[in-house]
Structure 1
């Protein structure tokens, strides 16, 4: 079945056929030919694709030619269509045999329509065809021939016109007559233009790190092309995130997962996926040439910055057996140094630092041994002071069993700790003292709060001790964006997960706290006032203990602010 691009490469002028109207054109064609003509002479045949930015229809053009028409969602004066039109104007004069040709651009009743040639299929379609044939992906030589065409077109855009495509992905690489044509230019950007945000419309799976920060470079498309190569060859992505926020964090900070690639290609793709554009290949053609050479005998040219150099990110790691062997060697060195016997590796369940005194070594029956040459760190143990038995701390039987404490849990880890603590306090404290240990749990995950309130073997919190702090959708922050962007990067604000949870991202944890600051403050104040009343009865000062994981999105993102807020509320108590 013929396929076409979501966007196109323009070569003609923009024509407005009905500038005064503002009603959207709604295609209504059936699978058969219809008389519906959004553009005079172009009859819609059937819809062949749809995406977040528009839908594409096959159409019969004058002369019984078959073309593709894309209907861009939104009116021309709205962001989506205006961004597409601006990109089309940038690339209107660019012509290349491996860029999808444009027939015409029209504005019909305020809606942008783009007419292009109709392709046979996309690279994604070819990949799915190979998967159905039980192949891991597109055969390597075939895939490289496709990437060679795409690289030629992308480098031409960059070198001759200083343009980057910025939406290179399998769906935008179209097959026509056995060759690739790059399509969908709705995000095309002049690399000298630093005014527009790049977040709207990009595909996070393939986007390079600098695009998330709004600073595309001449080597941005190369990064995306490398991801396309790995995915189409192996079916495995180098960055496995499932949400836009996870993918943004991985592109910006994480090492790519390249183990699915042949060893000779891992260093090549690793270089193309470098976080800094300057560390990548000089062009897309150079990347494809290096991959082509990797299939031949001899060293892989261009696989690293220097001849014979190995990318540290791709350096082989020690196997578990090698690490255990080195641990055993270190254990034997310490044992020989102190003249004592240590437990063997097989008898240890938990690794703990051990220091042997002379008396303990004697009790163990160890024979004196000649000291071995050791590293400075091991040599320092020789002069370490012996262990001293510490007497048990003094205990006042008349002291209160518990200082009045408000326990505040943040996120999933804080919730689990509070539930265990609640179970232990219920077992050990008499009923009249339990009000001295109230609890509050804040989380963006409503399911975790429901689980904490219903209880299980971990313990149970009351529903009035929990407060849900869900995030809002990105578009719902539009009115507050000016204030929020003063302390939060736009790559987080405009990539809120669909779950409306932090999903491990600390910046979103702080955003959730800011969103619900009034409710959090009110719940903390109420809890502290009740605790202060109970503390006055036992003549003790209350305190607050905040429980959170520094690695969690919710807890790690809001723990500092919650701690400061709690201290301010404590100081305001009479």
Structure 2
């Protein structure tokens, strides 16, 4: 993996952009079509495209309203669909209410548990390549508890699907930010933003820096592996870190990882086949910049992210100057040069307002 990036970055980027354009048009061109454009880097191109294909299902969850023309609540097809799902849930003490999102990881439904307790039910086909990652994550998180981690209540297998019952969040930081913009504000006020990120930092440090006893009996540090705005959830008045499907056990340095990050939030070491405890911190910093500046500090185009990950410099021009050094440290290319923990990083940002 260390030779993933050739020196001729513009040439590689052009090939990856051609691949991305063909994918968006729905064309199914063979891999050789792209490797033949630059034969001297055919192996790097093959690995980059494979990585992009693996990341393709890491789309953001889409609200059910986007599917109004596909899923008609009054249709007999959807009625049968709900009856089947409700039968699977009632057996385990849950009543489905309504679908609230779709994404590469499956479907999410609002439901009720015993005593009318609101819960979220995530449904993943066992044919989905993500299902084994979700099952592995359940070993990590079924026994881990923290005030700022979304709680998992239980899971079961039925009709070739994995069903996960968890705490129901109200919304996520992306949606909260959008609600402020819709009202004509510039975004989440700084005091609230820092509060939310301080709570997220607590949860990330809890996972990254403390050993946890897993269901398997092993003790291990844990990496979330997919910190992003859509996984920073609001439940009540506090942030809860959610969606643990990409979480994994880690050491001081993990080589040949089998996990994924969402491309726009992925640290450069990920593209070299490594992850560190500070990899989640990098993604948290990307999330902060996205809200504070209104844009990502790098291009979020997958082909450009992969091609330039080792060389890119963050654009922090829309961030207040007093905050930039702290963000530059959290976004350091070398993970060993980042903050020792996420709480120190967010604390430094908070002091910029005092």
- TM-score, L = length of structure 2: 0.71
Q: 2:164 aligns with which of 114, 139, 149?
A: 114
Task: Output one character per residue of 1:112-151: Cα deviation in whole Å (capped at 9) or x when no partner.
Answer: 1110111111111101101112223211110000000000
1:235 corresponds, among 289, 294, 318, to 294
Q: Which of 201, 211, 222 lines up with 1:163 in the alignment?
A: 222
Q: Could you tell me how far 1:294 is from its partner in structure 2?
A: 1.3
Match of 1:513 in 2: none
> Does residue 283 of structure 1 match 2:341?
yes
SS at 2:310 equivalent: helix
Q: 1:48-59 counterparts in 2 under 5 A?
A: 48-59=100-111
Task: Give the Å deviation of 1:33.
Answer: 9.8
Matches within 5 A, 1:91-130: 91-130=141-180
Partner of 1:36: 86
Matches within 5 A, 1:519-530: none
Aligned to 2:258: 197
1:172 aligns to what? Answer: 231
Q: Give the number of the structure with larger relative contact order, counting CA–CA contacts within 8 Å between residues 6 or more apart.
A: 2
Instruction: For structure 1, list consecutive stretches of 5 or more residues without a partner in the other structure.
Output: 7-26, 297-574
Larger radius of gyration, structure 1 or 2? Answer: 1
Please tell me whether the aligned partners of residues 32 and 45 of structure 1 are also in contact (alpha carbons under 8 angstroms).
no
Q: Which runs of 5+ in 2 are unaligned?
A: 1-59, 62-76, 212-220
What is the correspondence of 1:266-345 to structure 2 with a 5 Å cutoff? 266-296=324-354
- Give the alignment of 1:489-508 within 5 angstroms: none
Q: Normalising by structure 1, what TM-score?
A: 0.44
Q: Deviations over 1:56-113 (max 9, x none)?
A: 00112222222110012443xx632112111221233211010001110111122111
1:46 to 89, 98, 111: 98
1:175 CA displacement = 0.7
The 4+ residue runs of structure 1 with deviation greater than 6 A are 30-35
Query: C-alpha separation between the residues in 2 aligned to 1:119 and 1:240?
Result: 29
- What secondary structure, in the 3-state scheme, does the structure 2 residue paired with 1:286 have? helix
Structure 1 distance, partners of 2:79, 2:258, is 36
Q: How many residue pairs align between the two structures?
A: 267
Match of 2:185 in 1: 135
SS in 2 for 1:232: helix
SS at match of 1:38: helix
Structure 1 distance, partners of 2:82, 2:106, is: 21
Deviations 1:230-286 (A, max 9, x none): 1112211101232x1212234321100000100101111111101100111100001
How big is the shift at 1:154? 0.5
State the shift of 1:30 in Å.
9.1
1:89 aligns with 2:139: yes
1:187 aligns with 2:237: no
SS class of match (2:192): helix
